[in-house]
Amino acid sequence: ELSAGLMELGLGARVEPQANLVFVDLPDGWADALEAAGVAFYRMAGPTVRFVTSFATTADDVAGVLGVLRGLHRSTEPVAGGV
């Protein structure tokens, strides 16, 4: 589930997800990286983006989005013992 995966990454929804819409604030640069990876979403004001699912959205679609986000999350985590 998209909202659960976002929560695992510390990207909790701005409001309780309703039906097929999830609004979330992304760190700087993540929206650009998602677009470059071909992820479909809508930019809202500031860091807020809107993900929309439908009956045609598959578990693989959600896993793909979360995979891109996990990669971004890993690339921005501080390195243990780093400065």
Give residue 76's pLDDT: 77
The pLDDT of residue 38: 94
pLDDT values of the chain reduced to their tens digit, one per residue, 83 residues: 788 888 888 887 777 777 888 999 999 999 999 999 999 999 999 999 999 999 999 999 999 999 999 999 988 765 555 54
Task: For the chain, state the CA radius of gyration.
Answer: 13
- Phi and psi, residue 18, nearest 5°: -115, 125
Handedness of CA 34, 38, 42, 44 (dihedral sign): positive
Q: Residue 57 in contact with residue 15, Cβ under 8 Å? A: no
Question: What's the pLDDT at 10?
Answer: 87
Residues 6+ apart with CB under 8 A from 41: 31, 34, 49, 50, 51, 52
What pLDDT, on the 0 to 100 scale, is given for residue 83? 47
Q: Say what the pTM is.
A: 0.81
